[in-house]
Amino acid sequence: MKGKGLLDRFLTGLRHPAKSDTSEEPLLDDDLQAHPLLEESSEPEVAKEEGATSVQAFMNTYRAIVGTGVLALPSAIKGCGLGYGVIFLILTAWLSLYTMKLLNRCVRRLRASVPALEGKAIEYTDIGRATFGRPGGGIVISAALACQIGSCVAYL
């Protein structure tokens, strides 16, 4: 039927590509309907863990931040020029290294001052609470949330 719109053709089912539009025969024939592509499994479903492991969460955050940076870097270099771009890139790399060293020092001091944390994973919120009290944990969570939202917005 030549007058049918795209939605009407979609709703009536897919047609064989070799046949004309006037054909009403659907793509799925009796043989395909008798042998579906996805057969039901007799195996029991495995219960999956809720949430992500620490490594998965780290990699997810890392990919979001690095991916956003890789996409934004050429535009930033173009905006400030090659000379200033390289200077700011080196400065940013140095600041990242410095903050990583500060975090490492905080983790070591926190482990030394709280024996109950020995052998356990220390999170950013633990460092925030140990440094600034209860509000510090909320500040750290808010900063992590802003970072994640910011990396999503950067793709727009």
Query: CA Rg, the chain, in Å?
Result: 28
> What is the residue extent of each domain of the chain?
59-117, 123-155
Nearest 5°: CA angle at 43, between 39 and 47? 115
Residue with tokens 């890789």: 70
Q: What are the structure tokens assigned to 131, written together?
A: 């440094």
State pLDDT tens for residues 85-139.
999 999 999 999 999 999 999 888 888 888 887 778 888 888 898 888 889 999 9
Q: Mind listing the pLDDT tens digit for each residue in 8-54?
A: 554 454 444 444 445 555 544 554 455 555 555 565 555 555 677 88
* % of the chain exceeding 70 in pLDDT: 66
